[in-house]
Amino acid sequence: MGAGPIGLAIAWRCAARGLRVVVHDPAPGSGASHVAAGMLAPVAEAYFGEDELTGLLTESARRWPGFAAELTEATGVDIGYRTEGTLMVGLTADDLAEARRLWSYQQGLGLPVSLLRPSQLREREPALAPRVRGGALAATDHQVDPRRLVPALRLAAARAGAVLVTEPVRQLSEPSGGVTVVAAGCGAAALTGLPVRPVKGQVLRLRTPDGGPPGFRHVIRGYADGEHVYLVPRECGEVVVGATVEERTDVAVSAGAVLRLLRAAVDLMPELAEYDLVETIAGLRPGTPDNAPILGPLPSRPDVLAATGHHRHGIVLTPVTADLITGLITGEGTDDPLLTPFRADRFHPDSKEEDLWS
Ligand code: GLY
């Protein structure tokens, strides 16, 4: 259930293994992936206290080059996979101090973060504002275009034999000898009772006035006067500017969010003020209590596998999620240690008690 990148990648992998696959989604590709920028950022998004998640992000990013090559081979679709790396920058001295605390933490985990002097930053990206105080390079953090990825996965899944059904599904069916995978993003909560909640993100899309590529090539992640912003340049002239993180369930675009995102973006990259503002959009990330995905059987229904709760990381986690869930279905990966921290039963009311007494 769910024809976003996660559901479609699982469908592709399973159909390619010869399984009979039906994907249910009333509006394929219209969820969080339609809004997502497509950063593959296990380094820049490694946050304090999320080390197990960082491990999974790193493993999935390691699988991305092979996954992208296989998908392009299977479909002939250019999915906008780019490997120029990510520059993390701080605008003011306070911004840089905040950023440096995170970069030190990331370096402490052994992640590849190289500090850059302002002159080195500008050598890499001359269009950065002169007042940017400093930065760091996450050379292994790449990007893909989710709006190309989803149609490519849909084609790959269809070519492998998966069938898409657009009738809405409102509840799980009774066990029938098959396996149900719930990859329905925020919709997983109503279907399974799992603690998945919407986390709103507002995003803008800009475009170069002449349709040529933007004047910078790295993904830029910046702290600008206390605002966090990312700028994702695409070859087609698009720049994705994101994103708010809000505990809200609506998808309205607010004037204040557009103002803050644009101000931070232009403060870091002044030429963006001359670009066309072509889209404002909001989406709902599937968040969980520990910000990590839920992967594997429901405690009450071993025939139902959750593949949801990917929160800020759905695109980067697509390859590893597809491999792990396919391994559970075929029986070849039931004891994969990568799954252990992300099992659905970690939120079961009894699980803490068991931990305490084990
Ligand atoms: N990973 C970027 C975001 O969720 O906004």
Q: Within 13 Å and on the Cβ side, how many CA atoms surround 73? A: 6
| 221, 261: one domain | yes
What is the pLDDT at residue 169? Answer: 87
Ligand 1: which residue has its CA nearest to atom 1?
A: 312
| 133, 176: one domain | no
Total number of domains in the chain: 2
Q: Is the CB of 312 under 6 A from ligand 1?
A: yes
What is the domain extent for residue 59?
5-80+144-195+289-357
Domain boundary among 242, 257, 285: 285
Ligand 1: which residue has its CA nearest to atom 2?
A: 312
| 211, 66: one domain | no
| 203, 190: one domain | no
| 281, 235: one domain | yes
| 217, 278: one domain | yes
Q: Is the CB of 243 under 6 A from ligand 1?
A: yes
| 105, 176: one domain | no
Domain boundary among 285, 300, 329: 285
What is the pLDDT at residue 349? Answer: 61
Domain boundary among 251, 285, 319: 285
**Residue 310 above 50 pLDDT?**
yes
- The CATH code of the domain that includes 229 is 3.30.9.10
- Which amino acid does the sequence have at 274? E
Spatial neighbors of 258 by CB under 8 A, at least 6 apart, are 202, 204, 280
| 120, 151: one domain | no
Place of tokens 């139902």: 304
The pTM score is: 0.95
From 204, 220, 230, 247, mutation site for ligand 1 pocket: most ligand atoms within 8 A of C-beta:
230
pLDDT per residue over 265-283, tens digit each?
A: 999 999 999 999 999 999 9
What span, in angstroms and rounded, lies between the C-alpha atoms of 155 and 304?
Answer: 25
CA of 286 to the centre of ligand 1 (A): 11
What is the pLDDT at residue 219? Answer: 98
285 CA: nearest ligand 1 atom:
4
**Residue 351 above 70 pLDDT?**
no
Confidence class for position 50, pLDDT limits 50, 70, 90 = very high
- Cis peptide bond upstream of 97, omega within 30: no
CA of 355 to the centre of ligand 1 (A): 32
| 306, 293: one domain | yes
pLDDT per residue over 142-199, tens digit each?
A: 999 999 999 999 999 999 999 999 998 889 989 988 999 999 999 999 999 999 999 9
**Residue 89 above 80 pLDDT?**
yes
**223: left (phi > 0), else alpha (psi -120 to 50), else beta?**
beta
| 206, 280: one domain | yes
203 CA: nearest ligand 1 atom:
5
Spatial neighbors of 64 by CB under 8 A, at least 6 apart, are 40, 81, 142, 144, 316, 319
CA of 31 to the centre of ligand 1 (A): 14
| 242, 208: one domain | yes
CA of 336 to the centre of ligand 1 (A): 27
Q: Is the CB of 39 under 6 A from ligand 1?
A: yes
What is the pLDDT at residue 176? Answer: 87
Confidence class for position 358, pLDDT limits 50, 70, 90 = very low
Confidence class for position 48, pLDDT limits 50, 70, 90 = very high
| 105, 209: one domain | yes
Ligand 1: which residue has its CA nearest to atom 5?
A: 243
CA of 45 to the centre of ligand 1 (A): 9
From 312, 316, 317, mutation site for ligand 1 pocket: most ligand atoms within 8 A of C-beta:
312
Q: Is the CB of 231 under 6 A from ligand 1?
A: no
Whole-number percent of the chain with pLDDT over 90: 94
pLDDT per residue over 214-247, tens digit each?
A: 999 999 999 999 999 999 999 999 999 999 999 9
- The CATH code of the domain that includes 326 is 3.50.50.60
Mean pLDDT of the chain: 96
